[in-house]
A and B are shown apart, each in its own frame.
Chain A
Amino acid sequence: MDLSATPTRSKSKPRSTPSKTIAASAAAQMDLSTPSKPTTRRKSKSVSSPPSIAPATPSTVRRSRRLLETPTRRLLETPTKDLVETPAKPAPAPTLKRKRAAPSPKTPIQAEPKRQRRLPKKKAHYRKVVYDGGEFAAGDDVYVKRREGAESDEEEPEEEECRVCFHAGGEVMVECDACLGGFHLRCVRPPLRRVPEGDWACPYCEAERAGRAIERPKQPVGKSIRRTAKEKLLSSDLWAARIESLWREPDGTFWAKVRWYTIPEETAAGRQPHNLRRELYRTNDLADIEMETILRHCYVMSPKEFRDASNEGDDVFYCEYEYDVHWHNFKRLADIDDEPETQEDPSDEPYNAGNDYNSDTDEDSEFEEEDGPAKRCSARKNQSHQFAANSRKGRIYGLQKIGIRKIPEHVRCHQKTDLEKAKATLLLATLPKSLPCRDKEMEEISTFVKDAICNDQCLGRCLYIHGVPGTGKTMSVLAVMRRLRSELDSGALRPYCFIEINGLKLASPENIYKVIYEQLSGHRVGWKKALHYLTEHFSDGTKIGKQTSQPIILLIDELDLLLTRNQSVLYNVLDWPTKPNSNLVVIGIANTMDLPEKLLPRISSRMGIQRLCFGPYNYRQLQEIITSRLKGIDAFEDQAIEFASRKVAAMSGDARRALEICRRAAEFADYRIKQFQQSGQAPSSANRGNGVVCMGDVEDAIQEVFQAPHIQVMKNCPKFGKIILAAMVHELYRSGLGEVLFDKLAATVLSWCHVNRELLPGYDTLLKICCKLGESKIVLCEEGTKHKFQKVQLNYPSDDVTFALKESPDLPWLSKYL
């Protein structure tokens, strides 16, 4: 019924832009309430929940009323505004566009230039608004109330009542993790002394879980329980939203663009068994609301904050996933703290992008927009046809489709053991909180960068960083840049622009110009043109894009990959900093120490003498790196870590290798323990099974990494293969030459077989075996079409072969030839 209602309503005012957006948002919100599953669930819950909540009318009905009434209200409102001030009519829509088009509100918009020019004067954006006694800023989470209906306007109780004595306040209360009811410590039977650690369920919930019938205390007659905002939200009488931006309309009303949160019941998948009681999903659905409807603050937290929050009051919620209202799927929220640029990333607001696009094309698309979600899906499909997901233009279209219909249970219900935690922190991808052992180098880098950008004239400079792989070169530079970024945010530094390029990820060395130019200007041109513009920019000071004279820090990883035959790319890149007003700082990273010496003299002279060496880690440093990652997790024996780090330090000093070995060892231990659990028997020896990674596991992991598997394969060769290998060793010692002709080899093999009474193999069988050995590169051999002229050579030292074949049980006679 909701579905039929909206189009007619919107058709009555089909051409006006504000009605369109409102209808669209209404339709979007309706998506949430249309699925039938949540309704039944909620009903069943209202039976199970304490009877005090029962007087509330079934919420779906109310919600749908709200949906229908909100547009009406706004529709009525907009015309009145029209009367007052005509140009302001399409106000909500342009803001939408503006947000998409460019972050700064001053940018003119292509579509309706006339109105736009006047609008910015009338509309004021704010970062912070004090409204109705509360201070609201962009990024805050708030409760949003429904407009009509008396009860929501009544004063919200800040404090919750005890579910046993039905009095609020007075004493410390504890919250049940199952029904979220509050209890005084003394009201619980048996009374509690302290707030218990970990999860706690009230006696009633525990009884219900155990299947016993238990009567929950009835509330005193005549006193209706006052519901807190949290309860209203969770029974979908309130809404939660996150303020994205705030502004004042020309008529003086305050508006906010908000991103809705939704409760699990309103998603397509419904509440899933592993959902937490206080869990919310962030949606990708945005709407403009009046500030009047905002009630007060609430706090939606990421899992980590939520875990750390202990006493933050009642309005705390947990949010781990984003819910796509159009595709009905879930996605984990990206870690915003780690990569702040994802916020600006267009893919972050994928639907809006499509929305914008639609409204820009033509009138017809408006109809599609207002029809049901199904039709919109198909419309979008047609549209995305032009925008292939992997091409540049269309990359943002389609990626929002990636998501899961339901949050997989194995992710949520899984309690991580110590070993699994250890594995997770040892992952190369997990960014450690601190970077131990590279303080000196980082200090040097940061002084270099600061020197370069703080000087007013900003002399062009160049720093070359070298070191073997896995010694933290890139990571240190990035860490320094992050630190500088935070200094920049606090205003201690001049603004600068940071460009990171990896030489190995460029399709060809010349593409570097293209990438640099694109990062500076946002335009894409061919590399020759880009080179031209860049040279102009750096030598003549011509401006590119909006970047003025900000210093540019260019980080080139894997610098040696930029070498071309005439080394022109490196020359150009390193020549720019020497130009008088280039404002360019180049940091090059590569493995080889003597790269500047290998270059042409004119390039190495431009590279300067400033070099920084990242030496391989020694075992103490490796040990420190590993232990700092494993802090607080008791999964490794101390000797095991030391053993691994000593071994790696002796081989390469590669931190990645050390981490991987430890992770592999943890995997071995985990595998062993899981096998024990499966078979149901207790760990056999105390040493090998007490749930920590011991020396044996590290040993195994090191074996796997460093030991070549050829000896194993040789030991398991077919019989004739072994004889051939032995014959090759024999021939090698006899002739002193590495290569041997197959003809000779076969003759030796056959004579040995003859003497030792083995079955004589055919020539062709031997040839085939030879080719097979050649395929696994145990021997090097020419192709088999050469038949008896095929040249064969051992690929491994003859001692390895002797070692592998010395005691083979099926060929006892072989050892006398070795």
Chain B
Amino acid sequence: MAAAAAAPVASQAQAVLRKRLCDPAFVHSPLKSSPDTNYSKLKYLVASSVSEACNNSVLLLGPRGCGKGAVLDMVLEDLKKEHPDAISVIRLNGMLHSDDNCAMKDIARQLCLQHELSFSKMASSDDNTEFMIDMLRECGLAHKTVIFILEEFDLFAQGKQRLLYSLLDAMQSLTSQAVVIGMSCRLDADQLLEKRVRSRFSHRKLLFIPSSLDDIQSLTEHLLMLDQASVLPTNYVTEYNSRLTSIFNHKKFKGILNSLTDADATTSNILRFLFRVVSYMDKESGLLSIDCFTNALSCMQRQPKMDSLQDLSILELYVLVCMNRLEDKEQNSYNFNTIMKEYKSIQDAYKTSDKYATTVCFRAFEHLLDRELITFADTKGRNIALEYRPVKLLISSRELAESLKLNTTCPTVLQKLLDRERYM
């Protein structure tokens, strides 16, 4: 009976936790309290340009998944609350608007949309530029701030950079109120700018870096601990929290976090990990255990190539081993026929039961090509028949050896073949 009652609680708790994990505002809310975070710096920067009527341009730099966009969204959300109709946001993405004319058009479209003006698709790019400058002036007179957000900023810095020039030049020559915020994961994004554009850019940079281990631990606690005021039953929440605290103090937990952050310590990676953890929650009791974390970690650390090596057939493994032997013999260029020769010689030497016809081997070969474990050595010669095109291995011999070791159905002779030539 207790279990029956717990089950809906478990799914409820899961829902609560998942909701939190998917809400960037909640994830980054601890940033709001401290003055040294990027959140408060960016907020000060944008808010002061709103309230003091000045122009600014700032770059947010950092690897992907460090929360550049999320922090910016939070800042904009807050500012929209503080200054209800004094802000209009124009969003551009370098992937979509790398062409200057189309970017200009989209700026005009978004400006029209936000100020309830009608927009013409037919207007030329000169018209759109003039319109933008007029709008910037009018908005400046009306104490309205226009915030341009340029995602993938580095892609705007290609070509003549007309868009950036006209934006930044308008900002230095008009009494407008505009903020240009560029986001990029390229650290040298400002070096890409042409010198006259760079001179107009105001070179504010905020660097987003992956968080340290302590921060990650506190973030995990912030995300997973349930608070008493929620809809969930109180005794469940207390039990859940006490279990979680004991997990956090567990020695193994530290190890799990360590091995997770060794590879990737960005916030988005942590969130993905925690989402898996929540999914492994025990449905009966609705509690998390250390096993949830270990399972989630192994999920995160999957090696796709090893996995696909695991489910190859014996014949395909033979083909790979043959290719590996050929490469070890320093034969630089080989094709299917060379492989078949090697295969035949092995079969003759060892008299295994895995002797197949050439057509069957060719099917295995094609399959390997499809799985991209091997590939053609060059892109030319498309009209040559498949068996004569030179190929190469895409996996390293170490990976191959490891997968053979793990594969239980693999005949010992194969491992020997690989080992033999290694120690020969």
A-contacting 9-mer, from B14-22, B182-190, B317-325, B338-346: B182-190
Q: Are B196 and A469 in contact (CB under 8 A)?
A: yes
* Smallest CB separation, B298 vs chain A (Å): 11
Chain A residues with CB under 8 Å of B122's CB are 391
- CB contact under 8 A between A718 and B264, given known A329-B142, A502-B169: yes
Which of A330, A663, A768 lies in contact with B142, CB distance below 8 A? A330
**Which stretch from B172-180, B328-336, B354-362 is at the chain A interface?**
B172-180
Q: Mark A710-733, 1 if CB is under 8 A from B, else 0.
A: 101100111110000000000000
Task: Tell me which of A334, A389, A710, A795 has the highest count of chain B C-beta atoms within 10 A of its own C-beta.
Answer: A389
CA distance A671 to B36 in the complex (A): 10
Name the contact of B52 in the complex, choosing from A330, A424, A507 (C-beta under 8 A): A424
Whether the Cβ atoms of B35 and A675 lie closer than 8 Å is yes
Report which of B35, B139, B169, B303 forms a contact with A765, defined as CB distance below 8 A: B303
Please name 17 pairs of A and B residues whose Cβ atoms are closer than 8 Å in the assembled complex, sorted by A: A331-B138, A332-B141, A389-B117, A389-B131, A395-B130, A401-B116, A402-B138, A402-B141, A505-B129, A678-B35, A708-B191, A709-B61, A709-B187, A713-B187, A764-B304, A764-B306, A775-B186
Asked whether, in the complex, the Cβ of A776 is within 8 Å of the Cβ of B165, the reply is no
Q: Do residues B143 and A411 form an inter-chain contact, with CB atoms below 8 A? A: yes
Residue of B nearest to A758 (CB): B262
A533 shortest CB reach to chain B, Å: 18
- A787 x B199 contact (CB < 8 A): no
Contact B262 A389 (CB under 8 A): no
Cα-based distance from A506 to B396 in the complex (angstroms): 54
Q: Which 7 A-B pairs have the closest CB atoms?
A: A388-B120, A469-B199, A389-B117, A428-B172, A762-B303, A390-B131, A716-B209
User: CB-nearest residue of chain A relative to B172?
Assistant: A428
Asked if B86 contacts A505 (CB within 8 A), the reply is no
Closest B residue to A412 by CB, please name it: B143
Give Cα distance in the complex from A398 to B45, angstroms: 31
A706 to B129, CA, bound (A): 31
Whole-angstrom distance between the alpha carbons of A329 and B85 in the complex?
12
**A558 CA to B61 CA, complexed, in Å:** 30
Given contacts A401-B116, A709-B187, contact A428 B200 (CB under 8 A): yes
Residues of chain A lying within 8 A (CB to CB) of residue B62: 713, 776
Which B residues are in CB contact (< 8 Å) with A428?
55, 171-172, 200, 202
> Are A429 and B175 interface neighbours, CB within 8 A?
yes
A394 to B120 Cα, complex, angstroms: 10
Q: Are B117 and A398 in contact (CB under 8 A)?
A: yes
Give complex CA distance A716, B259 in Å. Answer: 16
Quote the shortest CB–CB distance from B171 to chain A (angstroms). Answer: 7
Q: Complex Cα distance A515/B45, Å?
A: 38
Q: Name B173's closest neighbour in chain A (CB-CB).
A: A429
Which residues in A have some Cβ–Cβ distance to B below 8 Å?
329-335, 347, 384-385, 387-392, 394-395, 398-399, 401-405, 407-408, 410-411, 414, 416, 420, 423-424, 427-430, 468-470, 502, 504-507, 511, 558, 561, 591, 654, 656-657, 660, 663-664, 667, 670-671, 674-675, 678-679, 704-705, 708-710, 712-713, 716-720, 743, 746-747, 750, 759, 761-765, 768-769, 772, 775-778, 785, 787-789, 795
In the assembled complex, B54 has its CB within 8 A of some CB on chain A: yes
- How far, in angstroms, from A444 to B240 measured CA to CA in the complex? 81
Q: Contacts of A675 on B, CB cut-off 8 Å?
A: 35
Q: Which residues of B contact A716 (CB under 8 A)?
A: 209-210, 212, 265
B101 at the interface (CB under 8 A from A): yes
Centre residue among B45, B63, B112, B305 by max chain A CB count within 10 A:
B63
- Judged by a CB distance under 8 angstroms, whether B406 is at the interface is no
- How many angstroms between the C-alpha atoms of A331 and B51 in the bound complex? 16
B398 on interface, CB distance cutoff 8 Å: yes
Q: Residues of A contacting B235 with CB < 8 Å?
A: none
Contact B52 A423 (CB under 8 A): yes
Residue contact A765 to B263, C-beta cutoff 8 Å: yes
The answer to whether B171 and A429 have CB atoms under 8 Å apart is yes
The answer to whether A470 touches B199 (Cβ under 8 A) is: yes
Question: Is the pair B162, A743 in contact by a Cβ cutoff of 8 Å?
Answer: no
Asked whether A777 lies within 8 Å of B188 as measured between CB atoms, the reply is yes
The contact string, 1 if C-beta is below 8 Å from chain A, for chain B 120-152, is: 101111111111001101111111100000000
Q: Are A390 and B48 in contact (CB under 8 A)?
A: no
B205 lies within 8 A of A507 (CB): no
Asked if B407 lies at the interface with its beta carbon under 8 angstroms from chain A, I say no
Residues of A within 8 A of B135 (CB): 399, 402
| B313 CB to nearest chain A CB (Å) | 21
Contact A402 B303 (CB under 8 A): no
A469 CA to B173 CA in the complex, in Å?
Answer: 15
* Residues in chain B near residue A504, CB distance under 8 A: 160, 162, 165-166, 169, 196
Question: Which B residues lie within 8 Å of A424 (CB)?
Answer: 52-54
Q: Are B303 and A763 in contact (CB under 8 A)?
A: yes
| Neighbouring A residues of B306 by C-beta, 8 Å | 762-764
In the complex, chain B residues whose CB is within 8 Å of the CB of A776: 62-63, 185-187
Segment 355-402 of B: residues with Cβ below 8 Å from A: 372, 392, 394-396, 398-399
Given the complex of chains A and B, what is the CA–CA distance between A271 and B63 in angstroms? Answer: 51
A389-B131, A591-B196, A709-B205 given as contacts; is B263 within 8 A of A402 (CB)? no
Assuming A424-B52, A716-B212, what are 8 further A-B pairs, CB within 8 angstroms?
Answer: A331-B141, A390-B109, A391-B123, A392-B130, A404-B142, A660-B203, A776-B62, A776-B63
B19 to chain A, nearest CB (A): 28
Judge whether B200 and A709 touch: CB under 8 Å: no
B304 pairs with A507, CB closer than 8 A: no
Residues of B within 8 A of A394 (CB): 118, 120
CB pair B207–A713 under 8 Å, yes or no, is yes
Whether B187 lies near A761 (C-beta < 8 A) is: no
On whether A656 and B200 interact (CB within 8 A), knowing A332-B142, A388-B112, A511-B126, the answer reads yes
Whether the Cβ atoms of B205 and A469 lie closer than 8 Å is no
Q: Write out the residue numbers on chain A whose beta carbons fall within 8 Å of the beta carbon of B209.
A: 712-713, 716
Is B222 positioned at the interface, with any CB of A under 8 Å from its CB? Answer: no
Judged by a CB distance under 8 angstroms, whether B195 is at the interface is yes
Closest to B132 in A: A390
Instruction: Report how far A775 CA is from B154 CA in the complex, Å.
Output: 11
A719 touches B262 (CB 8 A): yes
Q: Please report the C-alpha to C-alpha distance between residue A77 and residue B140 in the assembled complex, in whole angstroms.
A: 44
Task: Say yes or no: B261 contacts A718, CB within 8 Å.
Answer: yes
Chain A residues with CB under 8 A of B261:
718-719
Question: Are A713 and B63 neighbours in the complex by a CB distance under 8 Å?
Answer: yes
Q: Cβ of B26 < 8 Å from any Cβ of A?
A: no
A761 B196 Cβ-Cβ under 8 A: no
B108 near A390 with CB under 8 A, answer: yes
CB A48 to nearest CB in B, in angstroms, measures 30
Does A656 contact B172, Cβ atoms closer than 8 Å?
Answer: yes
Asked if B117 and A654 make an inter-chain contact with CB atoms under 8 angstroms apart, the answer reads no
- Residue from the list B109, B175, B212 in contact with A335, Cβ < 8 A: B175
Residues of B within 8 A of A654 (CB): 199
Closest residue of chain A to B137 (Cβ to Cβ) is A334
Q: Are B141 and A334 in contact, with the CB atoms below 8 A?
A: yes
Does any Cβ of A come within 8 Å of B83's Cβ?
yes
**What residues of chain B lie closer than 8 Å to A743, measured between beta carbons?**
396
Contact B131 A405 (CB under 8 A): no
Contacts of A506 in B (CB 8 A): 126
Q: Choose one: B101, B176, B187, B259; the contact of A778 (CB below 8 Å).
A: B187
Contact B123 A392 (CB under 8 A): yes
B41 interfacial contact with A, CB 8 Å: yes
* Interface status of B422 (Cβ within 8 A of chain A): no
Are B210 and A718 closer than 8 Å at their CB atoms?
Answer: yes
**Residue among B263, B265, B394 with most chain A CB within 10 A:** B263
In the assembled complex, which residues on chain A have CB atoms less than 8 Å from the CB atom of B372?
Answer: 785
A720 / chain B contacts, CB cutoff of 8 Å: 262-263
Assembled-state Cα–Cα distance A504/B394 (Å): 48
**A625, chain B: closest CB distance, angstroms:** 15
The answer to whether residues A402 and B144 also contact, given A331-B138, A787-B394 and a CB cut-off of 8 A, is: yes
A670: chain B residues within 8 A (beta carbon): 48
Interface centre among A414, A663, A716, A717 (most CB of B within 10 A): A716
Q: Which residues of chain B are within 8 angstroms of A392 by Cβ–Cβ distance? A: 123-124, 127, 130
Contacts of B160 in A (CB 8 A): 504, 561
Could you tell me if A388 and B123 are in contact, using CB atoms closer than 8 angstroms?
A: yes
